[in-house]
Amino acid sequence: MTESSHQPSQGGRFEPPYDGHADHLETPIEPIEPVEVQVEDDRTGMTVVTLKRAFADNLYYLLAKDEYWATPHDYYMALAYTVRDRLLHRWINTSRTYIDKDVKTVYYLSAEFLMGRQLDNNLLNLGLYERARQALHESGLDINDLKVLESEPGLGNGGLGRLAACFLDSLATLEIPAVGYGIRYEFGIFDQWIQDGAQVEHPDKWLRFGNPWEVRRSELTVEVKFGGYTEAYSDGQGRYRVRWIPDRKILGTPYDTPVSGYNNNTVNTLRLWRAGASEEFDFQVFDSGDYAGAVTNKIFSENISKVLYPNDNTSQGRQLRLEQQYFFVSCSLRDIINSHQRIHRTFDRFYDKVAIQLNDTHPSIGVAELMRLLVDEYELGWNRAWYITRRVFAYTNHTLLSEALERWPVSLFEHLLPRHLEIIYEINRHFLDEVRAKYPGDEARVGRLSIIEEGAQKYVRMAHLACVGSHSINGVAALHTDLLKADVLRDFYELWPEKFNNKTNGVTPRRWLLLSNPHLSELITEKIGNDWVTQLDQFKQLEAFVDDAEFCSRFSSIKRKNKQSLAEYILLYNDIEVNPDSLFDIQVKRIHEYKRQLLNVLYIITLYNRIKKDPNVDILPRTFIFAGKSAPGYYIAKLVIQLINSVAKVVNNDPDVRDRIKVVFLANFSVSLGQRVYPAADLSEQISTAGKEASGTGNMKFAMNGALTIGTLDGANIEIRQEVGPENFFLFGLTTQEVYALKARGYNPRDYYHSNAELRQTIDAIASGYFSPDNRDLFKPIVESLLDRDEYMLFADYQAYIDCQQEVSRAYRDAKHWTRMSILNVARTGKFSSDRTIKEYCQEIWNVQPVKIDLKEYQPHTAGLQVKVQAKRPVL
């Protein structure tokens, strides 16, 4: 505790307390009014002096260290616990308020949550950053040295997981009651190492030093069943029932992470499930001498939450993926029901209190699982259970690629989830009756809509299950939603047009501008105030400064500093010296053929060929920067990474190039690395084949930080171009309709190869082994794929891309005009805040309202517990 005591006089001499006798004073003094003692709790106090003491106490009492023994990581942990204490105060109050007010809550189910580092974000949201910095400085420490020690949980593979994290941030900032549900992957996505130019996967050991932000809730552990068989029976009232007899059971234990809102008292929950064995150790087996067998059940059970997205090129990998999906969905639905039943005895108001959002198809098994729980375990009638299920679920589709519209073999369901297969068949029977009633005689349509795909091997179509079992189906960009209606889910749209809506994605400006680009944030705040942090549409006010010479100069200077910072990182980790005055041309995203990193490489080789032909050719200096991970089993994508690094090795070391081109691949791309990269970009590469990218969010982060976009009319690029203005966007390539039409006519990539000399020279250089002298056939699969199929039409867009890059070069040479375009990109990105997206979900899908959380000030006389005997108390 801190409380006032007698202070030195103004002259520095300590004055004794007045004893009531004034004989020795020349002038009698007035009686001293009693001073109110100000007390701060060490766990919740926000002043520098309290933070210093709390930090020291956590180091001493939680980590059992003092400054003699403490490591830098110990200091980080002590700081994290100090910040977490302040979150706990708000977290408990938030949970209690939600229960007391019996609010409707959003439950966001996602296989991925790519949260990023939490220390910075929580300090920012609590308004503690400067005070924490000062407290550490006075303790002899630098906050910047501690921030980088935080292990970053790789619980996602890219845009899907990062979007989920942005949504949780916005939900808390907008004071919306919400819980995120996912899996606590022990290793998450792999650490990416580059060895001899190739991606090599290593375990992501993010938990090796512990995680100070999570709280284990063992008392909320639930049981999940797998395998076995079902049997029918009649209950006491003679009603038909089904009992599932599993052959194995697994326990799901929740680990909760607080999710703080910006500049408010709301702290929501991210609840991640860890898998464990119901019986971890078989003593009898151990006693018989089979020591490995004694822990077999533990090993197999824990595998479920071991790794994010196991390789599904094998039948075992596919089974593990389905096990993961069912595991976290079953745990989450049981938890939702348990929470509901602490307040409500029936399911009469379940859909008035619960909104469940399926983030892509991974959690869509939830439709069948909720039906199983309601019908089998809570004994609701089928029709009532189905009415409830369709009222609570909403489905977000995130893809136009067939591979992400998951299908599971019926045989796998029979083996793993026999009761769910029965339920899916029954859902499908009722659904197809509805289809036949509306479209009599149209059996082709019935086959297209069916949840079960018929054929030599039958499959369960998970996207279809999600569509049938949800009251809302949304895409994540205007074009994406239009393509869902016109193509991917056309039959469902014709059946239920009222279900379909668009919710264009967004990103949180707290992490992607305020944290990532503090200097630009300060400049913006100086000019338009700080309300933009939660009202990003206020960015429009920046347009008034687009011709302000002083503002433009400072804006350019900040960009230059950010580029210099990234250049220093590249020198440190890649041992490549790059010129911060060159154009930073950046493509960072998951490595996939449709994202066309390979088209970017073809342009680099084209420039290189021009230099080799004429070493004095006038080429704008550029630094090409790539980053991203390929799925471990995605052979071609991994080969693209190797090609990028092989081209870099040749180009960066060729004296003819004279540093006009540099190529860099940043290993192990992550949220924290993204925070360094996005503010430094001059040019944002968003060059996917039109009609393949659902939305993209990296494009928004780049534009928000002042990068100009070169891109196709794909995903959210279309809306970015509409917002920033066509004149501030570099557009090239076929449209979606042109892609479809060209393929329908019979696309032959060899026609482009033979008719375009620069393209032919570029492909021949790769095919000849020029960039792989030790293995001249190394990149042969890439060349054959392009010449024989070119699935994503790189050759068709090649010349348009080359010409557009020439426009980029011309524009960049006019620094004043480029800065103007850059400022306008920032000023016109207000639409792309995830706050706007979440408001639309709340109003148009979830029907939920904000709930204000009030904190009572700490009072010493009310400290401590005051336990009363009462009815069953809700568990937070």
* Three-state DSSP state, 728: helix
11 confidence band (pLDDT: 50, 70, 90): very low
Out of 86, 595, 638, 692, the active site residue is 595
Query: What gap in Å lies between CA 93 and CA 266, rounded to an integer?
Result: 8
24 confidence band (pLDDT: 50, 70, 90): very low
Residue 230, pLDDT score: 97
Instruction: Indicate if the pLDDT at residue 295 is higher than 60.
Output: no
Of 169-183, 308-322, 379-393, 723-737, least confident by mean pLDDT is: 308-322
Give the mean model confidence (pLDDT) for residues 344-362. Answer: 96
Out of 701, 721, 828, 831, the active site residue is 701
Give the mean model confidence (pLDDT) for residues 470-494. Answer: 96
Q: What is the pLDDT of residues 660-709, one digit of tens each?
A: 999 999 999 999 999 999 999 999 999 999 999 999 999 999 999 999 99
28 versus 313: the higher-pLDDT residue is: 313
Pair 404, 360: CB distance under 8 Å: yes
Query: What gap in Å lies between CA 774 and CA 372, rounded to an integer?
Result: 58
Question: How many whole angstroms from its chain centre is CA 605?
Answer: 33
Please say if 353 is a catalytic residue.
no
297 confidence band (pLDDT: 50, 70, 90): low
803 versus 235: the higher-pLDDT residue is: 803
Residue with tokens 């200091």: 75
Out of 117, 590, 662, 828, the active site residue is 590
Q: What is the pLDDT of residues 748-773, one digit of tens each?
A: 999 999 999 999 999 999 999 999 99
Out of 50, 173, 389, 697, the active site residue is 697
Going 790 to 791 to 796 to 797, the CA torsion angle's sign is: negative
Burial label for 60, CB within 10 Å (0-12, 13-18, 19+), is middle
Out of 84, 89, 398, 420, the active site residue is 398
* Alpha carbon distances (Å) from 473 to 114, 221, 225, 417, 445: 23, 32, 29, 25, 19
Instruction: Indicate if the pLDDT at residue 395 is higher than 60.
Output: yes
856 confidence band (pLDDT: 50, 70, 90): confident
Which tokens sit at 319? 């089974």
Percent pLDDT > 70 in the chain is 91
Q: What is the pLDDT of residues 419-456, one digit of tens each?
A: 999 999 999 999 999 999 999 999 999 999 999 999 99
Give the mean model confidence (pLDDT) for residues 597-622. Answer: 97
Instruction: Indicate if the pLDDT at residue 197 is higher than 60.
Output: yes
Query: What gap in Å lies between CA 20 and CA 53, rounded to an integer?
Result: 36
Residue 298, pLDDT score: 63
Maximum Cα interatomic distance, the chain, rounded to a whole number of Å: 112
Please report which residue ranges of 472-615 form alpha helices under DSSP H.
478-483, 490-495, 509, 518-528, 549-574, 597-613
Residue 598, pLDDT score: 98
Pair 857, 265: CB distance under 8 Å: no
Q: Determine which helix (DSSP H) or strand (DSSP E) holds 93, and give its type and residue range.
A: helix 72-101
Please say if 559 is a catalytic residue.
no
Percent pLDDT > 90 in the chain is 85
Task: Report the DSSP beta bridge partners of residue 459.
Answer: 409, 453
Sheet strands side by side (includes 730-731): 661-666, 622-627, 583-588, 683-686, 708-711, 730-731
Read off the pTM.
0.93
Query: What gap in Å lies between CA 509 and CA 235, rounded to an integer?
Result: 55
DSSP letter assigned to residue 15: P
Task: Report the DSSP beta bridge partners of residue 268.
Answer: 259
Which residues contact residue 27 at a Cβ distance below 8 angstroms, ignoring those fewer than 6 apart?
Answer: none
Residue 572, pLDDT score: 97
Q: What is the pLDDT of residues 793-833, one digit of tens each?
A: 999 999 999 999 999 999 999 999 999 999 999 999 999 99
Please say if 697 is a catalytic residue.
yes
Backbone angles phi, psi at 50, to 5 degrees: -70, -40
Residue 623, pLDDT score: 98
Nearest of 111, 193, 93, 195 to residue 159 by alpha carbon: 111
Average pLDDT, the chain: 92
875 confidence band (pLDDT: 50, 70, 90): very low
Pair 275, 251: CB distance under 8 Å: yes
Query: What gap in Å lies between CA 615 and CA 756, rounded to an integer?
Result: 22
Backbone angles phi, psi at 76, to 5 degrees: -60, -45
Out of 53, 390, 510, 589, the active site residue is 589
Query: What gap in Å lies between CA 445 and CA 437, rounded to an integer?
Result: 12
DSSP letter assigned to residue 360: S
Q: What is the pLDDT of residues 503-556, one digit of tens each?
A: 999 999 999 999 999 999 999 999 999 999 999 999 999 999 999 999 999 999
Three-class secondary structure assignment of 410-478 = HHHHHHHCHHHHHHHHHHHHHHHHHHHHHCCCCHHHHHHHCCEECCCCCEEEHHHHHHHCCCCEEECCH
